[in-house]
Structure 1
């Protein structure tokens, strides 16, 4: 074979340039044996048609047919031989202006190699490792299984009292009314398996099957069909759950669960998870500013939040007592994490790691001060995709131990051939979620995109987010009372929400007592806006065991009362001196009647 003959393309680079060597080492890991690499100082003499100055100015890719590609064209051609990296070459060759812009950008990098080498060390670290996510994917799927398990279990033990046939809002009545109004359109607008059966037995079967399948995923059974089934089961409960399943973490779990169905098909799915995390965190901060809420703008929102949030923890009482400068600094940290850090989620490796640390810190603080179901756990799970395999010590050994349990790799390493569907799917998600995000913060609208958003909205696969945009500055609490004579009234005690002044706030997360939560929202308005409260009180008059099981204390254990009513109190945390004197965590004052006395007809 002649000395200058080539069996495969040869990339010739400047071997004395640390920046060039660092990136060539990275490309070698991507392309394997499909490309040969050599410094021009060693092989330049084999190609007398290319001067040393030309080699030093830009990398040259010499093809077996002797064609020479230079600069950005050479780099894109090399990357196109790696799985999933062909988009840049396609754009270079087919889109007007891309080639010129790419070569101009390459020229800037070539002339400032020293600066960009330092930037590479800072942002990526040396050596630059190919981004694979098999370890992160393995842990995420186990975490997702655990979170699904929590979600199904938590709702399951409340389902009969909330939406069962003897519950507050029976799902059968809900679906019947929807079908009467929408006809067959109800099947699309309310996607749920309960169209098959509305019975209590089927309701129990759905959440029990959800628990079983969640446990299988948690234990390592890596089947897409399991993840699809979990998504459909939880979507069915969210749809049938009405106001009791309308929380943002339910939507976030559905969106993450839907994306998880495609994990392992392409590395682009990992990027969609990052985009989801970015949107979720950023919108949580942006809506606070966009709302115009003065407590957020004046950095005074957090002490108000600790006192007025639905279910504070004991630590919330103690942190509430801290000085104003601490709370203002905490708001500053929160805004930094929610408005700046999300962009780092999409940044190079070391900035992503910083973003992960910041988000994890914020989530731990939220976890310690408020009961927000599985919200914090799910956000922490999403942060796993900010860590690539190279982050872990000896990832090959970790994978060797994990793989036998999974039955499949389950990772996000690139397939040998480019997968078209994941890229089309990713483009769709990015396009639609971009309009969803823009619609939350601006008046930007595009009719075709709005039509798609409305069509897929019932499935909650692309959602809008934004927690606590407007801070509630008071804490009204509904206290339901019963009486047999209309004179002596005894209070029903809820399991977790504020009631008894001496009862310490509790840690209940990741469980979500959904009736307690919904009572907090109901107290912000009146029963005309939340007619389910009347249904709840009617069940108490009937002595319905399924609803009574949702409460902590029934003052009428032998027979239901003749009358029930609901009062509204305004609750406040006690001061340290008040707590020492009374042992009370709360103080309250009566604000008025929420629901006047009710009785069953015929009594």
Structure 2
């Protein structure tokens, strides 16, 4: 029973603990008068239903409903009453089962070692100081230009085979099909420069070369804002028309990062470090993007319900089933289960708890930077993910400050003050981006339940720009590794395989390291093996029957140099990594077993031997095992 019913939540803490008092003061600044705070020494705890031992061990939150929580859960529930929406959203994230468990573990450790935690806190705060970020911005833009250079160079090596007139998915055919249906809306629905230039092989190749030149301009700090805007528009032109082969999360991450970067890039032809210091809004936008990438990736894993993430066995499967593993990935797969579980737990911690370091004082942000950089280095060492790991690490530069870069980046001249109207103008431009980004994250918590109509219209308008996205790589683990082997034959008896450059094929060929280049056909074949044959795969077989040199260049070699085969088929295998004993005895890195036919033997129709579109004129018998 209570003598006085509570009208507001009451946080009970240990008033004799200076460390506790300091943290309570911080929470009070967030909640204001919405939550009462009182030391347990001054309260009749038995009237509140709290044991004295529990109050000494951890903070207690008593809510008007009578609900009593303690520890990290009490902290998160108290912050649900914070005035700032971002803090309330973070508190909801902290109450998710996986995140809450990690937070409770950390809370118990801190509570048991308050003196050590207090000394560490004082040292951290003593090292925190205001710093400029012009060198950070300068370095970030140079590195972002490097990512674009890699992206366009990688795409240029494949663009004719993927999108040319004799490629797998010709862009010009797509535009010809969409133009009468979209009419005047074609530029807003499918934003692409190829509506204006056409999508001939020359135009596609020249587009990648233009991207390389613009990327070099950004690296050289030549008109960085204009160069970045052109790079964003050009890459969007390919992504909008690229369909499956340009639909990876790092493709849209590059566009979203560029959209944010346009708001912070300095103007002018040769701006150097920039005359003005990045504003608080600039820092918030870029750090929010870092937070969003990692937190959404971790959140997707927790919300997916996937068993392997919950029992911490995901990494025991991941290295074997990842699309393009490396040799180090093979060795990582050999680690004992205890190490795999520890690796999974660290991954979840870095993607759920560590993202909040992005908004904390400088030393903790630096810890976040090194944590995220280490995570990306580990991912890159064990799998080929194109430019994803490099781009993610480049984004993390915004967790640094100029003091951290003083050894490597030249010191700029004193900054000029920024006028208030510039801050206001930038806030107006950034507002739609922020609103859509919060909408996307809030949707994962089913919030808001009834979004305003204007926000839905804004999201619909912005969707073709691919610059506000959700992230969540490998939220559900693939438990097996099916692989497709494409074969050709002239007699239906002797079949010769089309070897891929980087996918598992010959059992004694070790996994290859190809990143930051991304072989997009190799990647999409991994996805295709998980389902029935997609349309682009049938088009690929048609091009092989035609003997398209542009498509054949995507393979390691042409098994039919004398001319295209009369028929092709696709066989499905289940691959597994060998163990150390098998590799030492036989030299095999892989072992496989035949599952059956993925696509039955197929040939071009005799009455139309060279159809303009490989979807037509092909006989596709039903695949049988």
Give the TM-score, by structure 2 length.
0.73
1:260 Cα deviation from its structure 2 partner = 1.6
Please, which runs of 5 or more residues in structure 2 have no aligned partner?
1-82, 85-117, 267-277, 610-625
Alpha carbons of structure 1 residues 120 and 322: separation in structure 2 relative to 1, 3 Å: closer
8 A contact 1:287–1:441 mirrored in 2:
no
SS at match of 1:462: coil
Q: 2:420 aligns with which of 406, 409, 417?
A: 417
8 A contact 2:141–2:265 mirrored in 1:
no
Determine whether 1:547 maps to 2:547: no
**1:325 aligned residue:** 338
Q: Please give the per-residue CA displacement for 1:175-211, whole angstroms capped at 9, x wherever unaligned.
A: 2222233332222111000101121111111110000
SS at match of 1:311: coil
Corresponding pairs, count: 477
8 A contact 1:290–1:441 mirrored in 2:
no
Alpha carbons of structure 1 residues 486 and 305: separation in structure 2 relative to 1, 3 Å: same
8 A contact 2:437–2:468 mirrored in 1:
yes
**1:131 aligned residue:** 131
8 A contact 2:573–2:595 mirrored in 1:
yes
**1:94 aligned residue:** none
Determine whether 1:574 maps to 2:578: yes
Determine whether 1:160 maps to 2:160: yes
**2:512 aligned residue:** 506
Task: Please identify, of 437-446 and 230-239, the stretch whose mean Cα deviation from structure 2 is larger.
Answer: 437-446
SS at match of 2:444: helix
Q: Distance in 2 between matches of 1:439 and 1:123?
A: 35
Q: 2:434 aligns with which of 430, 437, 441?
A: 430
Q: 2:538 aligns with which of 522, 534, 539?
A: 534
Q: 1:468 aligns with which of 468, 474, 484?
A: 474
| 1:302-451 → structure 2 map (5 Å cutoff) | 302-393=315-406, 398-400=410-412, 415-419=418-422, 420-442=424-446, 444-445=448-449, 446=451, 447-451=453-457
8 A contact 1:371–1:509 mirrored in 2:
yes
Task: Please identify, of 442-451 and 275-284, the stretch whose mean Cα deviation from structure 2 is larger.
Answer: 442-451
SS at match of 1:130: coil
Larger Cα Rg: Structure 1 or Structure 2?
1
SS at match of 1:596: strand
**1:598 aligned residue:** 602
Determine whether 1:180 maps to 2:160: no
Q: 1:284 aligns with which of 297, 300, 309?
A: 297
Q: Distance in 2 between matches of 1:314 and 1:220?
A: 37
1:118 Cα deviation from its structure 2 partner = 7.9
Task: Please identify, of 436-445 and 244-253, the stretch whose mean Cα deviation from structure 2 is larger.
Answer: 436-445
8 A contact 2:384–2:514 mirrored in 1:
yes
| Larger RCO, structures 1/2 (Cα 8 Å, 6+ apart) | 1
8 A contact 1:477–1:523 mirrored in 2:
yes
Please, which runs of 5 or more residues in structure 1 have no aligned partner?
1-96, 99-116, 404-408
Q: Please give the per-residue CA displacement for 1:549-588, whole angstroms capped at 9, x wherever unaligned.
A: 0000211011010000001000000111111222111111
SS at match of 2:488: strand
1:235 Cα deviation from its structure 2 partner = 0.7
Q: 1:556 aligns with which of 560, 576, 587?
A: 560
Q: Distance in 1 between matches of 2:294 and 2:119?
A: 30
Q: Distance in 1 between matches of 2:190 and 2:229?
A: 18
SS at match of 2:126: coil
Q: Distance in 2 between matches of 1:300 and 1:289?
A: 14
**1:489 aligned residue:** 495
Q: Distance in 1 between matches of 2:403 and 2:171?
A: 48
Q: Distance in 1 between matches of 2:515 and 2:265?
A: 31
Give the TM-score, by structure 1 length.
0.76
Q: Distance in 1 between matches of 2:487 and 2:553?
A: 16
